[in-house]
Structure formats: structure tokens, C-alpha cells
Amino acid sequence: MESRKLKIRDLTLRDGQQSLFATRMSQKQIDHLLPFYENAGFYIMEVWGGAVPDSVMRYLDESPWDRLRSVSKAMKGRSLLSALSRGRNLFGYVPYPDTVLKGFYKEAIKNGLNVMRIFDALNDIDNVKESIKLINELGGIADGAVCYTVDPKEEPKAQKGFFSKLFGKKEDAPEKIFTDDYFVGKAKEMESLGAKIITLKDMAGLVNPLRAAAIISKLKAALKVPVDFHTHCTPGYGLASALMAIINGVDILDTNIWYFGGGSAAPAIELVYLFCKKLGVEVEVNMEAVGLIRNELEGVRRELDAYDLTKKFPRKFDPLTDQLPAEVDAQFDRAIAAAKALNEAALLDACHAIEDYFGFPKPNLLVKDAEVPGGMYSNMVAQLKSLGAEDLLDDAMRLIPKVRRDAGLVPLVTPTSQIVGSQAVSVALDRKKGNPDYSNPSNQFISLVKGEYGHTPVAVDPEFRAKITGSPVEHPYDVSSYRKPENPELPDFGGVKLASNDEEYLLLELLPSVANGFLRRRRQEEYKAKTAADGLATAEVAEEKAADEPITGETLKAPMGGRIISVKVKPGDKVKKGDILLVYEAMKMENDVTAEKDETVKRIFVKPDDVVGTDAVLVEFE
């Protein structure tokens, strides 16, 4: 009888480095690794999407399109190349019209992309159906991702007296929304729309082993297309849940290679390989080639030390040649037996012992208990630190279930995790200052409650919507109101356009804030090279600065550190209370800064793309 086979999607070059090293792998590092990948035989390599397009421009000053092309050229079609996108939002926070979706997918497939994994933060099928259709029409493979999440824990009730407990009416527990049938139903809808792969995507690592067994087995029974499982190890479930998925028939498993595995990333393929060997499941990967990649990744990780939060390397290990100590080998057998017996406690205990022996990070119990993604937690910590309000972390964490429920019980995945986390911090600050809850909703939270991101799993209370948006009526995003970004001429650089071709203009459409600065730097470099070639003097472009005269008028200061996106006023403008003066980005949330009273603008101290600290002076009034 032919052994069962397991296909692997390698996440190392995208999700792995994003989860562990803040997406800081440079093009040089990627290019160094690619020759070793050519013969590895991964079914799919995830190399693009997610935070890559933003991060490579923002932090590395590199082109996302160049990265995709370089991987495609090096791999020569040996593995399918995949990217992650947020359905109608792609990589940004704005729902785009079909013309933008089509232009982006066409360019991505032309540059070597094969598989586009599409998810929606609300699991709203309306937000993914057009992407599935377009990707199939353009010759790509549509991978429909169902986002896993859990119902929030019940808020602690006030203690009741003895007689109230004895005779009082028993309160019903809130209805469970995120049941097995909920996820299977979403998967079947995606399959019916044309998805060629269905992924159970657990971005926060919250799928415990028994839940993984239940959902994967039900997906296999309900679907005709291959089923993929994606999870993370942050709360300590990842390896055990991956084993459960294998036992219950999953077709494709997402893994990372050793030094980029475990912790807040997906499980290491080497541990998965050892489990499969004992189960008689053939892992369809060349493990000798994986060993060559592993050796190179150790050095790459050392180069990324500044972004390595754990700085603890797993012990060196080659599953093809190294012998396990008998007691460790026994833990693999114990884990398999426990998984087959559905003994979750014993399974987790064995998997944690395995990870502990190899030196992988221990489970993050705070993330496990709070049931939030690790990235969401770290964003909240950073936001509070920038405000000098670290003492509010516990309060903000306790507010997450309330904010989720108020906003329609949204799943905690990108971007809703950032929106909810940022708003929980804001509400904690409101309470500390004695202000009403939601005194300062972010633009994204307003859009979410308004309905612009799509249909939430539970309807938003009209009274709450009116409080946040000014109207009780749901208002879906009207894509017909979409306005293409300007592509201005740049007089300082010889009058050339900011975006010089279609792929650069797509970056302006998808990530306008970061792409603007990135493209300006490209045009400046080209202009300096041209003037040098023409024998002209190369002068640095002078930045506009406010005069050095002392500040005498009232000022507007930055509420927290961030990046200026746009300035809506100029010196001499008369503004009324509530007028938007500028828009800035903090923790990936956009915030309008408005006039507190009727004023006249005297000086502006910032321009788009400037990075400012908390309390930096932005505007002076007369």
C-alpha cells in the first residue's frame, strides 16, 4: 500500500522572518539563500505579500517587485511561489475597486507569482469572491484562507449576594459564533467560488490540538480541494496541532526551517519530518537540500540579531544523521499515542518537552491566556511605551473583549487585530483621564464600525454605531468613490513623474504613505546620476524648514510618535474648530488631527513622510 504523502508550504522567506525578525531580511540575504532552495522540492514557497511590500520599502529601501522577480528567476518554476493578501484590501487598509485588484494580480502573476492566498479579516465572503475569480482568470491559483479565531472570554460579572444566587434568574451564556460549522461553512463557500486550495489560517496560534483535529477532519470530509493548515507556536499549541492536522488527513502543512521556526512562527519542518517518519507519512521535500538551507539560515539569523527578540538559537540538529536520545525519541512516540487517543494534555506535555530539549521558545502564557495574536500584543506594548503609559497594559488587555464585541465580534487578524488593539489602548487612556469610552476613535475603527470593511460576524449595535460614526445606519465602502492617487511631477528632479511605470503606480495605490517616500528617493537618485553624467553640479535637494524665529503662538503637538501622511493646511489658512489639520500614522493606524478651536495657521513644522516623536510641535497658530 502506498504511503500517505504530505506537501509542505515553506514560510521561511515571508511569514517566518515576519514573525521572528520584523521582516528585515534584505534582498542580498534572500539572493544568497535562493540557490539552496532550488532543489528542496517544496510544493509552495511563501515569499511575498503580508508585510513584505511595506517593510522592504519602509525599512530596507528596496523594491517589492524586484524581490518577487528575483525569487521567480532563481527558482525556475521548481516550487510554486505564493503571497498573502487581504482580499479587497490587498496590503492596505482601504477596500479597492475591481480595476485595482485586477491590475495588481495581473502584475504579480506576470512577475512570477503562482498562488495567491486570500483572506478577509472579517471572514466576509463578499470581500474575497472577486479576488478568487480574478486570480483564476489570470492563470494563478486561488487559495482561500478561512481565518481562525475564538469567541472572547466572558466579562467577569459582579459578585451577587447569597439569595440572588439562590433565587435569581440564571443568565444565559453568550451564543458561540466561531463553531466548527462556522469555519467549514466559510470554506465551502470559498470552494464554490473557485478556490483551488482551502487553508485554515490560524494567525494567532490559538487552534488547540483537539480543535485542529475536529476542524481539519470536517474540512476533509466537506471539501474536494486540498486542505492546508497554517498555525503559529506562540501560545504553545503549534507543534501539537500540526501533528493533529497530519493525523486527520491535512494535504499541505505550513512550516519554517529550523532557525526560523517555533516561537511566534510556525513549527519547524525538521520536527514535522520526525513525526511523519514515525507515522509512515512521506514528506514531499528533499531534506538534504533543507539541511543546506538550514546551515545558511544560521548565519542569516545572526545578521538579523538586532531584530531577534529571543536571541536563543535552537541546538544544532540534522534529522537525517543525528540520533535522538532515547528519552527524547520516546516523547515523539508519546505525542503520537496521545494525539490518537485525543489526550490533549499528554500531547501538549510531550510536544513541549520536545521543544524544550531542542531549545525552542517556551509558550507565551500571556498571549495564550489573553487569546490575542503575539503581534497585536507587541504593538500595544509599543504604543503604550511611546505614550509613557506602560502601566495601562493590563487595563488595555482586559478591554479587548469589550472592544471586539462593540465592533461586531471581529476576528483578531490583520488588520482588525491592530485596529482593536489600538482602540483598546485608547479606551484605557480615556478611562485614566476620566473621559468617556471611545473619546478618540481612530479613522480605521470608525470605518470598521461604519461597515466599510465589510459585514462583521455579529451586527454592530446601531446605537453604538451612531456614537462612533454619527449615524446608526451601516454604510459599506462605496468603491465607486475611490479616487486614484495623484502621480505628480517633481520639479526638483527634472520634472519627472513620481511613479515612472505601472508597477510603481500600483505601489502608490496600495501603500501610498510609504511608497511616496520610497519613490521620491528613486527619482532623486536617478536625477543625481543624470546630472553627474551631464557634468552638472549635484546639489542635495533643500528641505523646507520653518524659520528659526522663536515660537510665540499656541501650538499643536503630536499626541504620539508617528509618521506624517498628509498636511491639509498651509500658513495663513483660517481654520474652524474640528477642521482636519493633518493626518498621521501611528502603530499602522491613521489618525486625523483636528483644530481644537477657530485659529489662523502661522507655521507648519512638518511635511508628508516626516517621522515625529510624541509631543513634537506640528503647527503654530497666530
Mean pLDDT of 8-36: 95
Length of the chain: 622
Distance CA 139, CA 107 (A): 12
Spatial contact of 245 and 374, defined as CB atoms under 8 Å apart: no
Give the pLDDT confidence score for residue 161 in this predicted structure.
54
Give the pLDDT confidence score for residue 536 in this predicted structure.
54
pLDDT in tens, 242-301: 999 999 999 999 999 999 999 999 999 999 999 999 999 999 999 999 999 999 999 999
pLDDT at residue 446 above 80?
yes
pLDDT at residue 182 above 80?
yes
Spatial contact of 209 and 267, defined as CB atoms under 8 Å apart: no
383 to 67, 91, 130, 559: CA distances (angstroms): 30, 22, 35, 11
pLDDT in tens, 568-585: 888 999 998 888 888 877
Give the pLDDT confidence score for residue 537 in this predicted structure.
47
**Winning range, highest mean pLDDT, from 156-165, 181-190, 303-312:** 181-190
Does domain 555-621 fall under CATH 3.40.50.1000? My reply is no
Cα pseudo-dihedral 237, 240, 242, 247, rounded to 10 = -150
Residue 543's pLDDT band (boundaries 50, 70, 90)?
very low
Distance CA 230, CA 56 (A): 24
Backbone angles phi, psi at 144, to 5 degrees: -85, 120
Spatial contact of 400 and 421, defined as CB atoms under 8 Å apart: yes
How many Å from the N-terminal Cα to the C-terminal Cα in the chain?
85
Structure-model confidence comparison of residues 213 and 422, the more confident one: 213
Residue 607's pLDDT band (boundaries 50, 70, 90)?
confident
CB atoms within 10 A of CB 57: 21
Structure-model confidence comparison of residues 443 and 140, the more confident one: 140
Query: Which class is domain 369-481?
Result: mainly alpha
Domain-wise residue ranges, the chain = 5-153+177-320, 369-481, 490-533, 555-621
**Which residue pairs, CB below 8 angstroms and at least 24 apart, start in 543-552?**
543/607, 544/607, 546/603, 546/604, 546/605, 546/620, 547/603, 551/617, 551/620, 552/620
Structure-model confidence comparison of residues 542 and 476, the more confident one: 476
Spatial contact of 256 and 46, defined as CB atoms under 8 Å apart: no
pLDDT in tens, 487-541: 999 998 999 999 999 999 999 998 888 899 899 999 999 999 988 877 654 444 4
Give the DSSP letter string of 345-372: HHHHHHHHHHHHHHTPPPP-HHHHHHT-
pLDDT in tens, 205-249: 999 999 999 999 999 999 999 999 999 999 999 999 999 999 999
Give the pLDDT confidence score for residue 538 in this predicted structure.
44
- The rounded mean pLDDT for the chain is 89
pLDDT at residue 173 above 90?
no
Mean pLDDT of 380-408: 87
Residue 144's pLDDT band (boundaries 50, 70, 90)?
very high
Query: Which class is domain 5-153+177-320?
Result: alpha beta
Give the pLDDT confidence score for residue 266 in this predicted structure.
96
Percent of the chain with pLDDT over 90: 65
Structure-model confidence comparison of residues 163 and 544, the more confident one: 163
Give the DSSP letter string of 318-350: -TTTPPPPHHHHHHHHHHHHHHHTT-HHHHHHH
